[in-house]
Amino acid sequence: MKPSHKEMPAARSRGFAAIFRRVWEILEPWQRRRALGVSVLITLTALVETLSVVSIVPFISLVANPAALSKGGLLGTAYAMSGVTSERSFLLLVGFAVLAVLVLGNAFKTFTAWRIALFTNLVGHELSVRLVSAYLSQPYAFFLTRHSAEFAKSILDEVSQVTNRIIQPAMLALSRLVVTVFIGAVLVAADPLVALLVVVVLGGAYSLIFLALRGVIARSGQVRYEANQLRYHVVSEGFAGIKEIKMLGLEAVYAARFAGPSERFARTQAGNQIISLAPRHSLEAIAFGGVLGLVLYLLDTRQTLENALPVVALFAFAGYRILPGLQEIYASLTTIRFAAPTIEALHRDLTTMRPPAEPVHIAAPLPLTRAIRFEKVTFAYPNAERPALRAVELEIPRGARVGVVGPTGSGKSTLIDLLLGLIVPTEGRILADDGPLDGDETLRRWRAGIGYVPQHIFIADETVAANIAFGRPHQAIDRAAVERAARAAQLHDFIVNELPGGYDARVGERGVRLSGGQRQRLGIARALYGDPAILVLDEATSALDSATEDAVMAAIDALDRDRTIIMIAHRLRTVERCDMRVEIKKGVLSVSQQTQG
């Protein structure tokens, strides 16, 4: 399924200022402070690297003309104060000092690179956690309009794109830019004309190449984003429907559906890598030619090799530092431009979604002493032609057993979602004991008192006990409550007599070691673990055969009569023992009382 247009980030090209503003806006305050701290470290590293470049000049001056020590000046003064007895010894001392500065510069550079890597990866971790928390905190209706693969893609892939292809390259580019500016200032002081020529040739070449290719890079980045989206969609749908794919022999079809976007993804990735590296080799040749030209120029203007050699060494060593720096700046900018669509999508989700709920204790269930009431409740899904439910009037007394029936698409599941507080009425209101069910805290307490059994039970690849106490940490599982719920669901005997390991037996991914009826009874046990006052079964037996359904219904019938039970069913025989029968046709309810046979 191709993602809808509204899911795509804006395809238009955005400037670097806009990209960096988006990044700044999604960072937490402490992350912004840490980014500024890393920037200070980058500046200090640039100063040390510049010092390492400058330190080569006196050393080369001494190598070219040791007699300069006797002529005074800074070197002569240093020689006189050093206490060294020979020029050769002083030359070795200066050489070791230059080496020490170079080692210090590389150590600073390594430390700064580590701090940048640590900062960006921790930002990636925090962004992933924030996204998971934000997605899980959205109202249920949010998930009705988003493909589930989108969440995995954003959390597991696109966050890495933002950290590794925008934040980290930006930090590295800043680091190289500061070093280049500082070293450039030294070159200007040494020979302004040559320094200006270096800036024009090298800086101009990289700038022209980037300006010529930026449109291609932006379009390629958009193609990569869309292809990646399709890759996740196909994989998600393919493995979710593996049984149907096997039965229909569609393995090759789904593999081919994946192959198209996968190839586009690979080609755009490769294209960006080539664009990032393209100028390097040609400009290295230009730089080598420039050094030769510089030697001839300085020999012509400074007359002697003795005078020219220190400046040649300075520019050569500076070029050794600057050229890779310019290449890294260029590569970083192309990478950032390529990843721009990702930051658009991530910024949208992190800034427009409802903020994550603060960590709270498990809510105390909202008590129900008299009845649940629907008062003129209407609900319409976004962009729907007509309401799913219209002007519903319904009262469910505490302890009642209510069967909800109706054809497919009549509004049964919508009624249950409203009852569960997963969606809220478009018009009208729902009350529990005359108190309206609205507001996050009230709905959270309301849901805490409801046990819910869906048609398709989600089974984690965990132990039986962990599946019944779903979501609780292992150390917090109440084993007595687990066994009580399993007994109530008529599942205890099967667990202890037929499963090796009993409640500690693992059931496999999606419960492959359990039959359909056992999975449903496990779902009922899970719903009963918290001893809820209300039990809701959403077509929990519709996929079962008659014998298995009878066994599951027997487990439900055995529950205490003080518990309110509401069940959706397709078959009338499923709800024949209920006190009330609610029939829905085209969003309109009719209620009838029943006498159990």
Residues 153-198: pLDDT tens digits?
888 888 988 998 899 899 888 888 888 888 888 778 777 877 787 7
- Burial class, 85, CB count within 10 angstroms (exposed 0-12 / middle 13-18 / buried 19+): exposed
The strand pair at 401-405 and 580-585 is best described as: parallel
Model confidence at 450: pLDDT above 80: yes
Residues 297-321: pLDDT tens digits?
666 665 566 666 666 677 777 777 7
Model confidence at 245: pLDDT above 60: yes
Q: What number is the average pLDDT over the span 281-307?
A: 64
The DSSP code for 166 is I
- As a whole number, the mean pLDDT across the chain is 80
| CATH number of the structural domain 29-352 | 1.20.1560.10
- Domain 371-593 fold is Rossmann fold (3.40.50)
Model confidence at 13: pLDDT above 50: no
Model confidence at 416: pLDDT above 50: yes
Segment of 44-53, 224-233, 348-357, 533-542 carrying the highest mean pLDDT: 224-233
- Burial class, 177, CB count within 10 angstroms (exposed 0-12 / middle 13-18 / buried 19+): middle
Which whole-number Å values give the CA distances from 363 to 13, 224, 490, in the listed order?
47, 44, 28
What sections of 303-404 are H helices per DSSP?
Answer: 305-338, 340-352
CA distance 132 to 151: 8
CA–CA–CA angle 210, 216, 255 (5° rounding): 135
**% of the chain residues with pLDDT over 90:** 9
The strand pair at 564-569 and 580-585 is best described as: unpaired
- Burial class, 168, CB count within 10 angstroms (exposed 0-12 / middle 13-18 / buried 19+): buried
Q: Which helix (H) or strand (E) holds 392?
A: strand 389-397
pTM greater than 0.75 (yes/no):
no
Q: What number is the average pLDDT over the span 368-388?
A: 88
Model confidence at 588: pLDDT above 50: yes
- Nearest residue to 457 (alpha-carbon basis) of 544, 516, 523, 515: 523
Residues 541-558: pLDDT tens digits?
665 667 767 776 777 777
Percentages (nearest 5) of helix, strand, coil residues in the chain: 65, 10, 25
CA distance 465 to 479: 7
Model confidence at 12: pLDDT above 60: no
At 6 the pLDDT is 44
7 confidence band (pLDDT: 50, 70, 90):
very low
Model confidence at 498: pLDDT above 80: yes
Q: What number is the average pLDDT over the span 470-486?
A: 87
Please give the full DSSP string across 539-570, using - where no structure is assigned. Answer: STTTTS-HHHHHHHHHHHHTS-TTSEEEEEES
Q: What number is the average pLDDT over the span 373-396?
A: 88
At 580 the pLDDT is 87
Boundaries of every domain in the chain: 29-352, 371-593
